[in-house]
């Protein structure tokens, strides 16, 4: 479940100091020491009440960044600002601007366009720190990823964890895919800071939006599956065109790719190119023993 990390260090740090520390030590949320180190630096950045406002003034005024080599701010979604990109390491730091119902931005764009009211997960771990304003209200859930269907329209169970207020100083760790949340507009304009873990395998990993099933307690339906890329289509096309090398690559992906979804795409491509029903069954039999529980379940249904 989501984890609230208590405060330890009241001293502030500049954005440059925070980026340098994370670039030196790295950010691996699976390791407790690395997670603690990264959380402390995000909190120290949040302890500076002025850095974001000063940077926004510089940005709006078109002034150059004052420090040589300082991170360049840029847009990161409709209401987010990228403070430091992954060019320095396996992390990104962002600021999420959270307008209240009184703000024109919310009335003009609509709540869903700003991420409000959408039950969703992410395909990466991240730390989020309340920085300014009362903070949004958040409903948290836990999703059993390993034992649940992941296709659009599938019925799944989300275990409610509770509702919280993301007030200034509150620091939370969300785990990739299994921690689900839904944000609601704050009572007044608010800001949170986010430290995201970045890894190449994330581009192959699904994440989802969910919608409740009427009359069901804890029952949800997967409304959309996000994270798809063009490589799936490219692989299917390459195998279908009959290249021996493409078939070898697909078999390698089917056994070793970090994404279960891409593994399944590879076996589907091989099965689709099989000469007859017996050859297709042999492909799915091989897929069933290829080391992925999720792929094994799909292969068993296909045989």
- Quickly state the pLDDT bin for 67 (edges 50, 70, 90): very low
C-alpha to C-alpha distance for 108 and 120, rounded to whole angstroms = 23
Structure tokens at 301: 């249904």
pLDDT of 227 reads 72
pLDDT of 194 reads 96
Mean pLDDT across 138-156: 88
C-alpha to C-alpha distance for 299 and 271, rounded to whole angstroms = 10
Q: Where are the domains of the chain?
A: 3-226, 231-302
For residue 133, what is the DSSP state?
S
Lowest mean pLDDT among 36-40, 54-58, 112-116: 54-58
Residue 115: burial class (beta carbons within 10 Å; 0-12, 13-18, 19+): middle
- Quickly state the pLDDT bin for 173 (edges 50, 70, 90): very high
C-alpha to C-alpha distance for 109 and 120, rounded to whole angstroms = 19
Query: pLDDT digits over 83-94, tens only?
Result: 888 888 899 999
Lowest mean pLDDT among 27-31, 76-80, 121-125, 212-216: 76-80
3-226: which CATH number, 3.10.20.740, 1.10.1740.10, 4.10.520.10, 2.60.120.10? Answer: 2.60.120.10
Chain centre distance of CA 44: 23
Distances (CA, A) of 303 to 208, 239, 243, 298: 28, 20, 25, 9
């Amino acid at each position: 479940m989501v984890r609230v990390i208590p405060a330890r260090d009241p001293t502030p740090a500049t954005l440059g100091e925070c980026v340098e520390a994370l670039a030196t030590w790295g950010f691996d949320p699976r390791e407790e020491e690395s997670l603690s180190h990264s959380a402390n630096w995000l909190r120290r950045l949040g302890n500076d009440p002025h850095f974001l406002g000063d940077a926004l003034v510089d940005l709006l005024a078109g002034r150059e960044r004052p420090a040589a080599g300082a991170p360049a701010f840029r847009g990161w979604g409709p209401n987010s600002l990228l403070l430091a990109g992954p060019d320095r390491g396996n992390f990104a730091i962002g600021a999420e601007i959270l307008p209240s119902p009184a703000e024109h931005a919310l009335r003009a764009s609509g709540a869903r366009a700003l991420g409000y009211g959408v039950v969703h997960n992410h395909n990466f771990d991240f730390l989020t720190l309340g920085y300014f304003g009362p903070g949004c209200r958040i409903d948290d859930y836990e999703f059993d990823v390993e034992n649940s269907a992941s296709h659009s329209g599938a019925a799944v169970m989300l275990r409610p964890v509770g509702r919280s207020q993301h007030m200034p100083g509150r620091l939370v760790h969300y785990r990739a895919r299994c921690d689900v949340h839904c944000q609601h507009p704050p009572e007044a304009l608010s800001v949170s800071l986010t430290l995201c873990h970045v890894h190449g395998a994330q581009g192959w990993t699904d994440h989802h939006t969910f919608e409740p099933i009427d009359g069901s307690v804890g029952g949800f339906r997967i409304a959309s599956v996000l994270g798809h890329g063009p490589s799936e289509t490219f692989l299917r096309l390459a195998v279908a065109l009959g290249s021996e090398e493409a078939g070898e690559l697909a078999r390698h992906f089917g056994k070793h790719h970090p994404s279960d979804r891409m593994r399944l795409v590879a076996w589907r491509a091989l099965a689709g190119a099989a000469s007859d029903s017996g050859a297709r069954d042999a492909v799915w039999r091989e897929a069933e023993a290829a080391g992925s529980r999720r792929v094994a379940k799909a292969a068993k249904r296909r045989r």
